[in-house]
């Protein structure tokens, strides 16, 4: 059993640090710039400069791990040494590495399209959201997040930029060969990943036709192995905080700039802030009448703690292999929980994920695979979500009122909170928005996948058949319970100087919680795939492979709410691939995708998307042997292809090719469809 516990704080008072230097060179003695130097078991690391040199702080007990693309990894104990001359040897085995590609796998050396592989270990980050690990770690991917609220922090990313129009700008995401969503990728546990490939150019994505315009991310999950039960567990706790706190103008500057803005627009206009208010605010006179509210400090904590537990089991025998994993994530927001509130308004987001992959050997030539995945998300937070609260904080006035007022003698028996406001009570009070209720709910998703694999050598050697059926059921619900706040403003008696609180919205506020349900979503999806592939070698120099695939996607909303949405969403396709290799040195690949989508008219419903690619391993030529020590591997490749996109318009609007005429209105309307 392997147990690994990771915590956010490490304390070491015994080991004494020292600075060591070194140079990393290749087998010929040439320096390797950009080589990675990592202290084993930590995240402390450096990279070599243009001369292959580095310096790093270590202890005598540390071990340096040196890596460079295309070279074998080397581990060096520090001990008493102060300098190192590290020589790396080429890793020729990397060329024989098998890479998962569209509908199959290939040796890395024989790939002629733009495919990038990512090691699952590189995807293990402190966040429970896998999509945040892609940006900045993989060449060719541009990623960004619109927010950091747990449960709503999915990253959007583009492969080689935005290459098409429409609402579908994210790449096609395939997990175990089936199209899923960014949310499914977010939930995926890095410990469950066997391989992670990114297909970038038309040659790699043409097989997916109308779905491949934005690139393809292909993920396969782990399977069992033949051997005794192995159990692996990993627990992490991490600290998270805002990447950047927005620096806003202080209250005095805010008022002066507000007055200046009015003067610029209308020199004779009424200024919003009097000289008396500005001077009293500067002097700190009566903070109830002259408040200086730091809304960020009032609502947000400096940091929060999150935790994750991952557990997996694997093993099997000659007839059955199994892999089972369980992951539990607890992510918290950074909203403060006020003592005056009856609810815990901070964001509490939990994720539970259970995966089971079972491989059965039915006969020597027949295999059956059963994949099952269940995920459940549970959310609790402010009525309008954390993003709304944050937006209000950025726009709220810091000098008009306080978040809330303490109860005075006149209001000592008042049951509700005395929230601050100004004028008619229609100013933004983010504090009131945060504590006036809560939203709770969740989503669940069940995925069952059946794969049948049959060798057909009895017909002809190298012929193979595979069929996949995937059924998905997902649902979500959210309930909002909230009250309408009572707003107060302070009033000073000019004769006595006493300050009292005046209720601004007596008829609008409520002391009870309302009940509201957001629209429920229940979606059923089916995916069917049948494919034949063929591989044959002739005289050891020639290798030919062929592939033919039929696919059908079907998605149905059970509670659509409209006629258009109630109709099934369907995509059907036929795809094929032909490969020829000569001496594992010259490569030719031809792909095609023939897709039909219900989003287009009958005349334009089907599209043909071909591609062709050529490859030449120059380093295997006889004339190259003189310099193969300096350049161990060199390959030229070129590709050209056509891909498409059926995600035009928006996700909910369909059938843009239909003209619509409304004759029931006094104002006649005619639309011809939209882009």
pLDDT band at 341 (very low <50, low <70, confident <90, very high): confident
Structure confidence at residue 646 (pLDDT): 80
* CA 158 – CA 141 distance, rounded (Å): 6
Residue 566: which residues within 8 A CB-CB, separation 6 or more? Answer: 557, 560
Tell me whether residue 48 is in a domain: yes
3-state secondary structure (DSSP) of residue 192: helix
From CA 649, how far away is CA 392, in angstroms rounded? 31
Q: CB neighbours of 459 closer than 8 A, spacing ≥ 6?
A: none
pLDDT for the residue numbered 604? 84
pLDDT band at 7 (very low <50, low <70, confident <90, very high): very low
Cβ atoms 110, 633 nearer than 8 A: no
Task: Report d(CA 153, CA 380) in Å as an integer.
Answer: 15
Specify the number of domains making up the chain. Answer: 1
Distance between CA atoms of residues 593 and 313, nearest Å: 39
Say yes or no to pLDDT of 12 above 60: no
Q: What is the pLDDT of residues 398-457, one digit of tens each?
A: 999 999 999 988 888 898 999 999 988 889 999 999 999 999 999 999 999 999 999 999
Cα→Cα distances 515→73, 316, 437, 480, Å: 60, 51, 10, 6
Q: How confident is the model at residue 4 (pLDDT cuts 50, 70, 90)?
A: very low
The distance from CA 122 to its chain's CA centroid, rounded to whole angstroms, is 15
Region label for 481, one of left (φ > 0), alpha (ψ between -120 and 50) or beta (otherwise): beta
Q: What is the DSSP string of 231-263?
A: EEEEEEEEEE--S----PPPHHHHHHHHHHHHH
78-130 tens-digit pLDDT? 998 999 999 988 765 555 566 777 787 777 788 888 888 888 877 877 777 88
| pLDDT (mean) for 180-204 | 87
Note the pLDDT of residue 163. Answer: 64
Spatial contact of 589 and 112, defined as CB atoms under 8 Å apart: yes
Angle at 469 between CA 463 and CA 471, to 5 degrees: 165
- Examine residue 47 and state whether it is found in any structural domain, yes or no: yes
Residue 344 to residue 342: CA distance in whole angstroms: 7
Q: Is the pLDDT of residue 672 over 60?
A: no
| Domain assignment of residue 298, yes or no | no
The dihedrals phi and psi of 619, each to the nearest 5 degrees, come to -70, -10
Q: Residue 564's pLDDT is what?
A: 78
pLDDT band of 14, cuts 50, 70, 90: very low
**137-190 pLDDT tens trace:** 677 777 777 778 888 888 777 787 666 666 666 788 999 989 898 888 888 888
Which token pair is 610?
Answer: 């071909």
Q: How far apart are CA 398 and CA 250, in angstroms?
A: 9
Q: Can you name the residues that pair with 152 across neighbouring β-strands?
A: none
Q: How many CB atoms lie within 10 A of CB 617?
A: 20
CA dihedral 293, 299, 305, 307 (to 10 degrees): -160
**Residue 361's pLDDT is what?**
94
270: tokens are 């009424």
Q: What is the pLDDT of residue 674?
A: 43
> Distance between CA atoms of 212 and 218, rounded to whole angstroms?
12
> What is the DSSP secondary-structure string of 446-494?
EEEEEEEEEE-TTTSTTEEEEEEEEEEEEEEEEEEEE-PPPEEEEEE-T
pLDDT class for 669, splitting at 50, 70, 90?
Answer: low
User: In the predicted model, what is the mean pLDDT of the chain?
Assistant: 86
Residue found under tokens 């707003």: 487
Q: Which two tokens stand for residue 28?
A: 């010929």
The pLDDT of residue 98: 67
pLDDT score of 1 more than 50: no
What is the tens place of the pLDDT at every residue in 244-281?
Answer: 778 899 999 999 999 999 999 998 889 999 999 999 99
Instruction: Give the torsion through C-alpha atoms of 235, 241, 242, 247, to 10 deg.
Output: -170
- CB proximity list for 31: less than 8 A, separation 6 or greater: 23, 24, 25, 48, 50, 51, 52, 53
pLDDT of 635 over the 80 cut? yes
The CATH code of the domain that includes 72 is: 2.60.40.1120
How far apart are alpha carbons 117 and 197 in whole angstroms? Answer: 4
> Does some domain include residue 310?
no
10 contact partners, CB below 8 Å, separation of at least 6:
none
Query: Whole domain around residue 85: which residue ranges?
Result: 2-90
- 62 Cβ contact partners less than 8 Å away, ≥ 6 residues apart: 39, 40, 77, 78
10 Å CB burial of residue 178 (0-12, 13-18, 19+) is buried
Q: What's the helix, strand, coil split of the chain in %, to 5?
A: 15, 45, 40
Q: Tell me what the mean pLDDT of segment 521-536 comes to.
A: 94
Q: How many CB atoms lie within 10 A of CB 148?
A: 19
Report the alpha-carbon distance of residue 42 to residue 10 in Å, rounded: 10
Question: Highest mean pLDDT: which of 121-130, 338-347, 358-367, 494-503?
Answer: 358-367
Is residue 442 situated within a structural domain?
Answer: no
Number of Cβ atoms within 10 Å of the Cβ of 214: 24
Q: Retrieve residue 23's tokens.
A: 């140079």
Question: Does residue 449 lie within any of the structural domains?
Answer: no
**Parallel, antiparallel or unpaired: strands 216-221 and 172-175:** parallel
Alpha helices in 148-210 (DSSP H): 182-187, 202-205
Residue listed under structure tokens 């945040």: 132
Instruction: Give the span between the Cα atoms of 443 and 83, in whole angstroms.
Output: 56
- Are β-strands 227-240 and 2-6 bridged in parallel, bridged antiparallel, or unpaired? parallel
Taking the C-alpha atoms of residue 527 and residue 450, their distance in angstroms, rounded to an integer, is 11
Residues 6+ apart with CB under 8 A from 480: 383, 437, 438, 439, 515, 516, 517, 518
User: Per residue in 459-476, is it b (16+ CB within 10 Å) or e — as a string?
Assistant: eeebbbebebebebebbb
In the predicted structure, residue 662 carries a pLDDT above the cut 60: no
* Largest CA-CA distance found in the chain, in angstroms, rounded: 108
What's residue 552's pLDDT? 94
Token pair, residue 42, equals 């930590």
Q: Which spans in 542-617 are helix H?
A: 563-566
Question: Can you tell me the distance from the alpha carbon of 156 to that of 144, in angstroms, rounded to the nearest whole number?
Answer: 6
- What pTM did the predictor assign? 0.78
The mean pLDDT of 612-616, rounded to a whole number, is: 93
- The DSSP bridge partners found for residue 439 are 381, 480
- b/e burial code for range 330-363 (CB count within 10 A of at least 16 → b): bbbbbbbebeebebebbbbbbbbbebebbbebee
Say how far apart CA 568 and CA 655 lie, in whole Å: 12
Contact 109, 584 (CB under 8 A): yes
Q: Give the H/E segment covering residue 549.
A: strand 542-557
3-state secondary structure of 410: helix
- Classify burial at 89, counting beta carbons within 10 Å of its beta carbon; exposed 0-12, middle 13-18, buried 19 or more: exposed
207 part of a folded domain: no
Helix (H), strand (E), coil (C) string for 489-515: EEEECCCCCCEEEEECCCCCCCCCCEE
In a domain, 381, yes or no: no
């Amino acid at each position: 059993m392997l147990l690994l516990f990771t915590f956010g704080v490490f304390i070491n008072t015994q080991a004494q640090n020292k600075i060591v230097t070194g140079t990393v060179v290749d087998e010929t003695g040439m320096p390797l710039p950009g080589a990675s130097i990592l202290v084993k078991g930590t995240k402390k690391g450096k990279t070599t400069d243009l001369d292959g040199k580095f310096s790093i702080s270590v202890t005598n007990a540390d071990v340096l791990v040196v890596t460079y693309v295309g070279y074998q990894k080397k581990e060096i104990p520090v001990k008493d040494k102060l300098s190192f001359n590290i020589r790396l040897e080429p890793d020729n085995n990397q060329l024989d590495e098998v890479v998962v590609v569209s509908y199959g796998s290939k040796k890395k050396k024989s790939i002629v399209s733009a495919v990038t592989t990512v090691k699952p270990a590189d995807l293990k980050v402190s966040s429970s959201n896998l999509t945040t690990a892609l940006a900045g770690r993989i060449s060719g991917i541009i990623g960004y997040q619109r927010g950091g609220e747990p449960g709503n922090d999915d990253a959007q990313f583009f492969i080689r930029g935005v290459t098409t129009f429409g609402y579908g700008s994210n790449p096609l995401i395939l997990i175990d060969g089936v199209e899923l969503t960014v949310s499914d990728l977010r939930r995926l546990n890095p410990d469950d990943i066997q391989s992670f490939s990114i297909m970038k150019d038309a040659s790699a994505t043409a097989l997916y036709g109308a779905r491949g315009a934005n690139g393809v991310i292909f993920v396969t999950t782990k399977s069992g192995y033949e051997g005794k039960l192995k159990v692996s567990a990993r627990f992490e706790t991490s600290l998270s905080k805002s990447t950047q706190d927005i620096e806003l103008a202080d209250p005095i500057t805010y008022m002066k700039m507000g007055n200046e803005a009015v003067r610029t627009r209308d020199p004779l206009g009424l200024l919003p802030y009097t000289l008396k208010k500005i001077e009293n605010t500067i002097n700190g006179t009566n903070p109830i009448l002259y408040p200086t509210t730091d809304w960020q400090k009032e609502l947000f904590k400096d940091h929060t703690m999150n935790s994750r537990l991952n557990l997996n089991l694997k093993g099997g025998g000659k007839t059955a292999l199994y892999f089972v994993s369980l992951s539990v994530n607890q992510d918290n927001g950074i909203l403060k929980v006020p003592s005056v509130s009856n609810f815990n308004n901070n964001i509490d987001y939990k994720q539970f994920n259970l995966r089971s992959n079972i491989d059965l050997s039915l006969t020597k030539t027949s295999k059956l695979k059963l994949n099952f995945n269940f995920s459940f998300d549970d959310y609790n937070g402010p009525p309008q979500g954390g993003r709304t609260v944050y937006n209000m904080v950025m726009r709220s006035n810091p000098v008009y009122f306080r978040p809330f007022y303490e109860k005075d003698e006149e209001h000592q028996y008042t049951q509700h909170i005395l929230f601050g406001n100004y004028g008619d009570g229609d100013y933004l009070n983010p504090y009131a928005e945060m504590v006036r209720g809560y939203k709770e709910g969740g989503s669940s998703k069940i995925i069952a996948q059946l794969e049948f694999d049959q060798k057909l050598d009895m017909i002809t050697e190298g012929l193979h058949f595979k069929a996949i059926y995937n059924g998905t059921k997902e649902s979500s619900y959210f309930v909002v319970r909230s009250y309408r706040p009572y707003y107060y403003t302070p009033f000073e008696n000019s004769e006595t100087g006493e300050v009292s609180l005046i209720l601004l919205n007596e008829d609008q506020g409520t002391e009870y919680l309302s009940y509201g349900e957001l629209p429920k979503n229940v979606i059923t999806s089916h995916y069917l795939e049948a494919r034949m592939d063929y591989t044959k070698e002739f005289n050891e120099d020639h290798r030919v492979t062929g592939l033919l695939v039929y696919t059908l996607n079907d998605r149905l909303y059970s509670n659509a709410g409209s006629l258009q949405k109630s109709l099934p969403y369907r995509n059907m396709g036929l795809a094929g691939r032909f490969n020829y290799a000569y001496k594992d040195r010259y490569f030719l690949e031809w792909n095609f995708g023939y897709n039909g989508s219900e989003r287009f008219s009958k005349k334009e419903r089907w599209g043909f998307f071909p591609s062709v690619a050529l490859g030449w391993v120059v380093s295997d030529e006889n004339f190259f042997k003189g310099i193969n020590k300096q350049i161990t591997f060199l390959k030229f490749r070129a590709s050209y292809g056509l891909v498409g996109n059926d995600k035009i318009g928006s996700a909910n609007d369909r059938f843009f090719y239909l003209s619509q005429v409304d004759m029931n209105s006094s104002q006649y309307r005619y639309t011809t469809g939209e882009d």
